[in-house]
Amino acid sequence: MNKKFLALLTAALLLAGLTGCGAAGNTSAEQEKPSGTAVEVQKVELGDIATENTVTGSVTANRSVPVVTKVACKVQSVSVKAGDTVKAGDVLFTLDTFDLRDTYGTALDTYRSTKTLLDEQVRQAQESLDNLSALYEIGAVSKNTVEQTRLGLLQAQNARKSTLAQMKLTDVLELMNNPRITAPIAGTISNVGVTAGVTIAPGSPAAVVSEIGRPQVVVNLSETLQPYVRAGSSVEISIPSLGDQVISGTVASVASAASPATALYEVHIDLPGSLNVSIGMFAKATFRTDAHSGAVLVPTEAILTGDNEARYVYIEDGGKAYRADVTTGLVGEKKTEITSGLHGGEMLVTRGQSYLSDGAPVRVTEG
């Protein structure tokens, strides 16, 4: 009896021990199991924001000056090619004026004699005015006499100007006296439109000299954006050929009238003079308008959209998430302005918000 009793007692104790261990194990497992939806949070802060508008354009010269002639004439020789660097006054091409002598020879003789006569009339009128002005200073003649003489000088000058202009030979005479066409500014030859032995038409660009010491980006803006852009304002420029760097440009000019062909407004943006760019490179310009300072800002991805396009976010407080209906304002590249619903300082749920409901338990994690 004693042995049988001891065996039963031992078995009962072992069973009780195993049951206790199992209960303790379950309690520990239940305690280790996390509760609430895992979320990431960040404090709502105040900052500056502006509406961003990105448009495309291209790199151009700061100034491009076409070189033209006013008289049709054959080209004798060309001294430059596209890509050459020139200084102001360097010879670009030379014209053959031999045919001009045959065409305008008699007319030029008449022009020269007429100009000599008119120049003498102006000289005599000027001399008379100088003499009478001196006499007026000592009271020898009246002021009216001086004024009449001054009027005569003006008439002589106008007669010379109009008479010579009507003869339309000033440009021919200047060309014959100097048949070498020179660069009006220092820069790079961006285009050459003439060939030796070919007659150039008057007014047609024979060459274009581009001043690239300070390159520009030219873009075209719509009528909705143009009123917000002002000369002197800063613009972010990116040029894919130069990589991912962001370049600070300055608006040089904004067209006040739209192009008839595109209905867009041309804007020129100065780039840093030290920037190594080439004419024609593709560029993007980002304009910031409607800037607000001290605005309540949240990551755009933290904002949810509910029924009737209602916007809302979740705020974490005491281990629970609470829904906050918000009104949005300006939208930047990654952040959005909140105009009502938040004040700053709240712990905003930025990850995991799509799985929440109002008052749901949450646990804050990192990553």
Local confidence band at 176 (pLDDT 50, 70, 90 cut-offs): confident
Residue 331 in contact with residue 366, Cβ under 8 Å? Answer: no
Report the pLDDT value the prediction gives residue 29, as an integer from 0 to 100: 47
Report the pLDDT value the prediction gives residue 367, as an integer from 0 to 100: 64
**Which helix (H) or strand (E) element contains residue 153?**
helix 143-167
130 in the same domain as 80 = yes
What average pLDDT does the segment 243-258 reach? 91
Q: What is the pLDDT of residues 184-204, one digit of tens each?
A: 988 888 889 899 989 888 888
What average pLDDT does the segment 62-77 reach? 85
Domain boundary residue among 231, 255, 290?
290
Q: Is residue 281, in this structure, part of any structural domain at all?
A: yes
176 in the same domain as 123 = yes
Report the C-alpha gap between 238 and 221 in whole angstroms.
17
For the whole prediction, is pTM greater than 0.85?
A: no
What average pLDDT does the segment 62-67 reach? 82
φ/ψ of residue 59, rounded to 5? -80, 130
Local confidence band at 60 (pLDDT 50, 70, 90 cut-offs): confident
- Contact residues for 121 (Cβ-Cβ < 8 A; gap 6+): 156, 159, 160
Domain boundary residue among 236, 264, 290?
290
228 in the same domain as 341 = no
82 in the same domain as 166 = yes
Report the pLDDT value the prediction gives residue 34, as an integer from 0 to 100: 64
Q: Is residue 248, in this structure, part of any structural domain at all?
A: yes
Q: What is the pLDDT of residues 18-36, one digit of tens each?
A: 455 554 455 544 455 567 8
Q: Is residue 16, in this structure, part of any structural domain at all?
A: no
188 in the same domain as 167 = yes
Report the pLDDT value the prediction gives residue 157, as an integer from 0 to 100: 92
216 in the same domain as 204 = no
Distance linking the first and last C-alpha atoms of the chain: 67
Domain ranges, residue 102: 67-209
Local confidence band at 240 (pLDDT 50, 70, 90 cut-offs): very high
CATH of the domain at 229: 2.40.30.170
Report the pLDDT value the prediction gives residue 365, as an integer from 0 to 100: 92
102 in the same domain as 58 = no
Q: Is residue 296, in this structure, part of any structural domain at all?
A: yes
Domain boundary residue among 290, 310, 339?
290
CATH of the domain at 301: 2.40.420.20
User: Are β-strands 37-43 and 360-364 bridged in parallel, bridged antiparallel, or unpaired?
Assistant: parallel
139 in the same domain as 166 = yes
For the chain, give the percent of residues with pLDDT over 70.
89
The number of folded domains in the chain is 3
Q: Is residue 264, in this structure, part of any structural domain at all?
A: yes
71 in the same domain as 198 = yes
273 in the same domain as 309 = no
Q: What is the pLDDT of residues 259-308, one digit of tens each?
A: 998 999 999 999 887 788 877 889 999 998 788 889 999 999 999 998 88
